[in-house]
Structure 1
Amino acid sequence: MTVPSVPQQRSVPGQEPAAATGWTPTRALGRAVLLTGLLLVAAVVLGRIDLIVLAAPFALGTAYALRRRPVALPQVWVEADDGHLVEGGELTGAVTVGNPDVVAYELVVLRTRVSPWLRIERVGFAGAGAAGGGSVADRPFVTSVPTASAIDLELSGSALRWGRHPVGPAGARVATAGGLLVSRAVITDPVRVRVYPKTEPFEAVEAMPRAAGLVGAHHSRRPGEGGELAGVRVFAPGDRLRRIDWRVSLRARQLHVAATLSDRDAEVVVLLDVLAEAGRSGGVSGAASVLDTTVRASAAIAEHYLHRGDRVSLLEYGPAARRLRPGAGRRQYLTVLEWLLDVRVEASPHEPYDQVFGPQLLSADALVVVLTPLLDERSAQMLARLARSGRFVVAVDTLPADLAPPKDRGWAEVAYRLWRLDRDTMIAQLREHGVPVVRWAGAGSLDQVLRDVARLATAPRVGGR
């Protein structure tokens, strides 16, 4: 194949530019020159012609091999599939080494690094077969490259976990001139493969606590223009003629209209607690850590409500103070997935930002879904403050249910049991403050909680004197 234009290569630190020290002699060349010189000196000193004849093949072979010296260094670049790759999906990529020189590369040693969350199962040069079994991308591969051509090292496997995972850096060293000259290592920068979180099945059939907009898929409890029938009543001034129920009107001999409930959209704020991490991630088919559950649950909740026409925004409760503005539609869903790829746990001894409680970020009618492991006392205080501010809050417990206690001897197990009791007490206190806490369990996780919150939203409130 023809060598395409490639990104700029970077050299190994501590070495000079390629034009000066791009190619170096090997030990084979040194041995050939040393042996030829020794034989010629011995022939002159001892006056033996047969030693000259013995040295001739070494001199002629070395001169013939060096008749055409390489000038350009090899070119290396990495390519990866930039499609919509989800956890567990198939990954394809390639590491390409090109030869822009007029001298063929007789031996090319190519090696690349791959993120441990990308399981490369098949590696092979194009048209030369493939090797299978396990992750085999971290071993060196050897090939030859003709002049003005390139060879692809094809990679195929699967993505084990969400995130931005590097493929590379990749490096290559070339030997030519019969193995007498070798190039310096040429290393190219890695490329990042975007792996989106796998959306867990989630359905919430309960009504929203309070709708904010005038259009949407949620049926409010207020009369208005919508698709949910509320009953039949007597015609009044201002009613539309298309709402007249003629069967009831003819039977009662008085005009009656069908009353409906208005359809409203809602704003959902997903608040991610990134102050602490627990558990060990095992990828898409293994155990889930707190961060895994948080990211996957956020994607599922956002997908559900955006599909229903609601507006969704995301916030981080942590020192980074990242925020995604509210939006609706498929574009917002893709933006949510991109935003979730950069979620990281950031512990901080300082109090996280207080702007999360401001009206400019959280409207009074928004449903706030807080994904938290409740490992930090500040997280419980944040939930209590949201509840006291009058907002509708649902806390989703993201701590792994199968979190194993420490196996150390001594007081470790007792301390773990005490911590569990203290955490249960914290959850009970939150529920007393009106904050429902539910463990994430996929489909139907929030139905009962949303039912209770909706009941509280419609209950009459006692006004102050």
Structure 2
Amino acid sequence: MTGPTVSAPRSTEPESSAGWTPTPALGRAVLLAGLLLVAGVLLGRVDLVVLAAPFALGTAYALRRRPTALPQVWITCAEDGPLVEGGEVSAAVAVGNPDTVDYDLVVVRSRVSPWLRITRAGFAGVEPVDAPPAAPTPPASGRGRSAADRPFVTSAPSGAAVDLELAGRALRWGRHPVGPAGARVAAAGGLLVSRAVITEPVPVRVYPRTEPFEAVEAMPRAAGLVGAHHSRRPGEGGELAGVRIFAPGDRLRRVDWRVSLRARQLHVAATLSDRDAEVVVLLDVLAEAGRSGGVDGAASVLDTTVRATAAIAEHYLHRGDRVSLLEYGPGARRLRPAAGRRQYLTVLEWLLDVRAEAAQHEPYDQVFGPQLLSSDALVVVLTPLLDERSAQMLARLARAGRFVVAVDTLPADLSPPKDRGWAEVAYRLWRLDRETMIGQLREHGVPVVRWAGAGSLDQVLRDVARLATAPRVGAR
């Protein structure tokens, strides 16, 4: 993440002259000189021969040194550090001249992802061009015309390279390509032109912007030896949980003699287990809804899911807890649980490949095997609840005794369809059916909360922790 990303230069061998074709100017010059010479000879007019001489001599002089090598084109993307949504992005399209002949004209053009808003473009040493005024666009799109959306012209001396510098702003998370880029050059006074040389695009990694998130509540259970979040489960540790009556198996060093003397019955100091929390963030990628407007616009389901995942992972990983990621979808991707900054960077890299994809079969079994999901982990499910299978998955997790928190990622400002007829009525019925589904999940013990940044999960985690520490009644 500290070095630039460079595409391999494309060119042909310097010894080969293939790929160079005459321009219409060369054809016109040869045709005009030939006609004048033939007319002068046939008509016996010396003035026509004299008139043809400059065209013939000029063409011969321009072609005295013909180019043999095609230009080289490559793309360089500067990565001084992790690029986050809203950050400044810079790239360059370089055109190299490996020949011994100067290129009189170099025409360069490059495609750029619409999520990379290029505002300034120009060759090094030349005043960059600002983006032209864009046509009015809906506020949700966040995108306009790019300054790189046109050809750029310059010249290239022998054995040198020219750089088309692109600068702008990253609007959305993901892997956004710069390129493909192509160049055509003219040499020999514009009489010869090369074929187009095109290079492959280079992806620019844009990490999601982490929304503010802070959870002060402890985890319901934990299963490690490190971490800042102590378990709610009683056990050997250094955090005092209260005082209770002495029970067989308690150590004598835990006896609280002051309380015991006052109550005239042995009491011991109860502590919480010093074990770290394991957080499993489950991403429901069965459906997408809403229109993404980038970092400054509206957020779609995937935008909310990815940004919330990054915020939750950053919060718990920076406190020493272990975080793992799972996809509920046909791909069933998984990131193993780990802690530390390396895991956080891995989480960000993993999130760049999140895509919404419908599944024809039930992806439950291949995602939630007993070897993949710890029974003591807190499972945070980010789901829009657009698919009935998502609700069934949450109910299964709750019935299996998992500690589940469902985060609703459906945009609150999702607009109803504008079509006439029964579309609006169907939309209202779907909304009512979805609210009924959420109510049924809450009856099954699955808390459902809408993502709202800081403090989104505090009340829910408090309730889950209370359920985890409550005594359970077993059937005889």
Query: 1:368-399: per-residue Cα shift (whole Å, max 9, x none)?
Result: 11100000011111111111111011100000
Tell me: CA distance 1:182–1:192, structure 2 relative to 1, closer, same or farther (3 Å).
same
Q: Structure 2 CA distance, aligned partners of 1:113 and 1:321?
A: 33
Question: Contact (CA 8 Å) 2:17, 2:69: kept in 1 or not?
Answer: no
**In the alignment, which residue of structure 2 is the partner of 1:119?**
117
Q: Structure 2 CA distance, aligned partners of 1:17 and 1:420?
A: 66
Report the CA distance between 1:459 and its aligned residue: 1.4
Tell me: CA distance 1:261–1:378, structure 2 relative to 1, closer, same or farther (3 Å).
closer
Query: 1:162-182: per-residue Cα shift (whole Å, max 9, x none)?
Result: 000000111100011111000
Paired AA for residue 222 in structure 1: P
- Name stretches of at least 5 consecutive residues in structure 1 with no aligned partner: 249-255
**In the alignment, which residue of structure 1 is the partner of 2:54?**
57
Query: 1:336-374: per-residue Cα shift (whole Å, max 9, x none)?
Result: 000000000011222224132321111110101110000
Question: Contact (CA 8 Å) 1:225, 1:263: kept in 2 or not?
Answer: yes
- Name stretches of at least 5 consecutive residues in structure 2 with no aligned partner: 1-5, 133-145, 260-266
Equivalent positions of 1:268-307 (< 5 A) are: 268-307=279-318
Report the CA distance between 1:81 and its aligned residue: 1.7
Report the CA distance between 1:244 and its aligned residue: 11
| Equivalenced residues, count | 448
Tell me: CA distance 1:372–1:259, structure 2 relative to 1, closer, same or farther (3 Å).
closer
Normalising by structure 2, we get a TM-score of 0.89
Q: In structure 2, which of residues 22, 30, 35 is the aligned counterpart of residue 33 of structure 1?
A: 30
Question: Contact (CA 8 Å) 1:81, 1:193: kept in 2 or not?
Answer: no
**In the alignment, which residue of structure 1 is the partner of 2:320?**
309
**In the alignment, which residue of structure 1 is the partner of 2:225?**
214
Equivalent positions of 1:172-251 (< 5 A) are: 172-219=183-230, 220-228=232-240, 230=242
Report the CA distance between 1:292 and its aligned residue: 0.3
Paired AA for residue 79 in structure 1: T
Q: Structure 2 CA distance, aligned partners of 1:230 and 1:462?
A: 22
Paired AA for residue 304 in structure 1: H
Q: Structure 1 CA distance, aligned partners of 2:333 and 2:396?
A: 20
Over the aligned positions, Cα root-mean-square deviation in angstroms equals: 2.6
Question: Contact (CA 8 Å) 2:15, 2:68: kept in 1 or not?
Answer: no
Secondary structure of 2:76's partner? Answer: strand
**In the alignment, which residue of structure 2 is the partner of 1:464?**
475
Tell me: CA distance 1:157–1:218, structure 2 relative to 1, closer, same or farther (3 Å).
same
**In the alignment, which residue of structure 2 is the partner of 1:108?**
106
Report the CA distance between 1:245 and its aligned residue: 10
Is 1:43 aligned with 2:40? Answer: yes
Tell me: CA distance 1:260–1:191, structure 2 relative to 1, closer, same or farther (3 Å).
same
Paired AA for residue 147 in structure 2: V
Report the CA distance between 1:306 and its aligned residue: 0.8
Question: Contact (CA 8 Å) 2:73, 2:95: kept in 1 or not?
Answer: yes
Is 1:21 aligned with 2:18? Answer: yes
Q: Structure 1 CA distance, aligned partners of 2:354 and 2:319?
A: 25
Paired AA for residue 361 in structure 2: H
Secondary structure of 2:375's partner? Answer: coil
Is 1:400 aligned with 2:411? Answer: yes
**In the alignment, which residue of structure 1 is the partner of 2:367?**
356
Equivalent positions of 1:68-217 (< 5 A) are: 68-82=65-79, 83-133=81-131, 135-217=146-228
Tell me: CA distance 1:246–1:376, structure 2 relative to 1, closer, same or farther (3 Å).
closer
Question: Contact (CA 8 Å) 2:220, 2:233: kept in 1 or not?
Answer: no
Question: Contact (CA 8 Å) 2:282, 2:327: kept in 1 or not?
Answer: yes
Query: 1:14-70: per-residue Cα shift (whole Å, max 9, x none)?
Result: xx9993531100000000000111111111111111111010000000001111101
Question: Contact (CA 8 Å) 1:23, 1:183: kept in 2 or not?
Answer: yes
Report the CA distance between 1:440 and its aligned residue: 0.3
Q: Structure 2 CA distance, aligned partners of 1:172 and 1:20?
A: 17
Question: Contact (CA 8 Å) 1:111, 1:172: kept in 2 or not?
Answer: yes
Q: Structure 2 CA distance, aligned partners of 1:286 and 1:10?
A: 41
Question: Contact (CA 8 Å) 1:25, 1:181: kept in 2 or not?
Answer: yes
Report the CA distance between 1:138 and its aligned residue: 1.5
Q: Percent identity?
A: 81
**In the alignment, which residue of structure 2 is the partner of 1:251?**
none
Report the CA distance between 1:86 and its aligned residue: 0.2
Paired AA for residue 132 in structure 1: D
**In the alignment, which residue of structure 2 is the partner of 1:264?**
275
Tell me: CA distance 1:392–1:221, structure 2 relative to 1, closer, same or farther (3 Å).
closer
Q: Structure 2 CA distance, aligned partners of 1:415 and 1:18?
A: 69
Tell me: CA distance 1:93–1:439, structure 2 relative to 1, closer, same or farther (3 Å).
same
Tell me: CA distance 1:375–1:359, structure 2 relative to 1, closer, same or farther (3 Å).
same
Question: Contact (CA 8 Å) 1:228, 1:262: kept in 2 or not?
Answer: no
Q: Structure 1 CA distance, aligned partners of 2:408 and 2:276?
A: 26
Q: In structure 2, which of residues 353, 375, 385 is the aligned counterpart of residue 342 of structure 1?
A: 353
Equivalent positions of 1:385-424 (< 5 A) are: 385-424=396-435
Is 1:433 aligned with 2:455? Answer: no
